[in-house]
Amino acid sequence: MIIATGNHAVSYGVRAARAEVIAAYPITPQTQIIEKLAELIQSGEMRAKYIRVESEHSAMSACIGAEACGARTFTATSSHGLAYMSEMVFWAGMGRFPIVMAVVNRTLAPPWSIWNEHTDMLAQRDSGWIMMMCGSAQEAHDTTVMAYRIAEDERVLQPVMFGLDAFSLSHTAENLELIDQEVADGFLPPLNPESLPVYMDPDNPVTFGNLLGPDKMMEFRHLIKEAFGRAKGVIEEAAKDLSNATGRKQHGLIEDYRSSDAEVVILAMGASSGDCKDAVDILRDEGIKAGMVRVKTIRPFPGEEIASSVRGAKAVAIVDRDYSYGFGGIIGREAASYLSKKPLNYIAGIGGRDITVEDFRKIAEDALASAERGELGIEKWWGMRGFEG
């Protein structure tokens, strides 16, 4: 057991996964991840090549190039870095390069903000990446290793990005159990270049990515759709195997907390889910049957799993730390399309504002009261203060 920040937990996960090429560009609050990796490589504790690129766009481009030569790759970014990288994020997804990336979720400016929000990652949701969100430093560490297993599984072969909330997770030091190297090696076999959809080999030359007419593009894209269909099973399988290997409960698609008999269920995501669980416990002590479902995987979206977990509830409160202007909370809207009863959508924690235990408790009570009044399907911006106060 060590004490480590969420960021360092990711770095140690990358080491355990034996990533071979790391290309990265610094951005607050991701910097600790790449600083630690650079240190591990330079001190000889980790055998990998670090490419000190001049931008996030180049970071992803370099990962794509290295992955195409059979190397296991990693990068990490955040917010503006991810937005700047976006063209190559799609290139990696559509090109089926099983790269792994950590995204420290941060608000996009203007005005400048370094604090947490999930919109940065969610804006990349149609890029062909498997997307996960971590709830703790331990989960960030474990998910790093799990991400490679999922990405490189021959039934999937798509890149994986996973998020960790700026500061509340990235910079908060927690107890951390490192995955033993033998355990990691047993769980994650070496990358098999023969399995890669794109492999640059002069002895077996292929042209990757030249022009494709409308006569075949749909079929190419359908291959990705099918990979995402299989990914759900692969994710659950990886979570189960890593649970067995580490002795720690790993979550694949969702985490279900006391929701089976709940009358009000909060659907949460990211680091604040820990506070949400505390709120659930308090409400239970007060006699209110509350529960939580946490979205661990965003793509493929666990709509059926969420629907199944909240089936008996009178009220479902979906808390979004993100927003799609002119549409609504992104998770709220997506989850709603799977639910038979309209949920309530709470927009909270935008720009890094705290969502406290008390907030979650009040959100649950508000949702329950609204449901009793028959007011469902409403969006509420939680805790608005006005500009004067």
Binding site residues, another protein, CB under 8 A: 20-21, 23, 48-49, 51-55, 57-59, 61-71, 73, 87-88, 91, 193, 198, 200-202, 205-213, 216
| Coil, helix or strand at residue 47 | coil
Instruction: Give 340's DSSP letter.
Output: S
Taking the C-alpha atoms of residue 260 and residue 131, their distance in angstroms, rounded to an integer, is 26
Nearer to another protein, 220 or 327 (CB): 220
* For another protein, the closer CB: 94 or 173: 94
CB of 257 to another protein, least distance (A): 41
Dihedral angle, C-alpha 332, 333, 334, 339, nearest 10 °: 80
CB 27 within 8 A of CB 85: no
For another protein, which is the closer residue by CB, 21 or 347?
21
Query: Using CA atoms, how far apart are residues 13 and 307, in angstroms rounded to an integer?
Result: 32
Identity of the residue, 189 or 209, whose beta carbon is nearer to another protein in the bound complex:
209
What's the DSSP call for residue 351? G
- Residues in a beta bridge with 130: 160
Nearer to another protein, 53 or 123 (CB): 53
Closer by beta carbon to another protein, 83 or else 114: 83
Tell which residue, 136, 121, 99, 138, has the closest CA to residue 13.
138
Residue 26: CB minimum distance to another protein, A: 14
> 103 to each of 83, 196, 197, 363, how far by Cα in Å?
11, 24, 25, 28
- Return the number of the residue (23 or 280) whose C-beta is nearest another protein: 23
Query: At residue 320, what are phi and psi to the nearest 5 degrees?
Result: -110, 125
Tell me whether residue 51 or residue 108 sits nearer to another protein (CB atom). 51
Paired tokens of 215: 């006569």
For strand 254-257 and strand 290-295, is the pairing parallel, antiparallel, or unpaired? antiparallel
| Short-list 13, 58, 57, CA closest to 36 | 13
CB of 56 to another protein, least distance (A): 10
Rg of the chain taking only CA atoms, in angstroms:
21
Tell which residue, 282, 287, 255, has the closest CA to residue 268.
255
For β-strands 2-5 and 173-176, DSSP reports them as antiparallel
Tokens of 340: 């038979």
Give min distance, CB of 312 to another protein, in A. Answer: 48
3-class DSSP assignment, residue 21? strand
Judged by beta carbon, residue 205 or residue 326, the one nearer another protein is 205
Q: What is the largest CA-CA distance in the chain?
A: 70
What is the smallest separation between the CB atom of 169 and another protein, expressed in angstroms? 29
CB of 202 to another protein, least distance (A): 5
Task: Tell the smallest beta-carbon distance from residue 192 to another protein (Å).
Answer: 12
User: Which residues, in sequence order, are CB contacts of 182 under 8 Å at separation 6+?
Assistant: none
Q: How many CB atoms lie within 10 A of CB 218?
A: 9
Strand partners, 344: 317
Kindly state the smallest distance separating residue 170's Cβ from another protein, in Å: 26
**Minimum distance of another protein from residue 180's CB (angstroms):** 23
Residue number, 43 or 340, with CB nearest to another protein: 43
Nearest approach in angstroms of CB 342 to another protein is 41
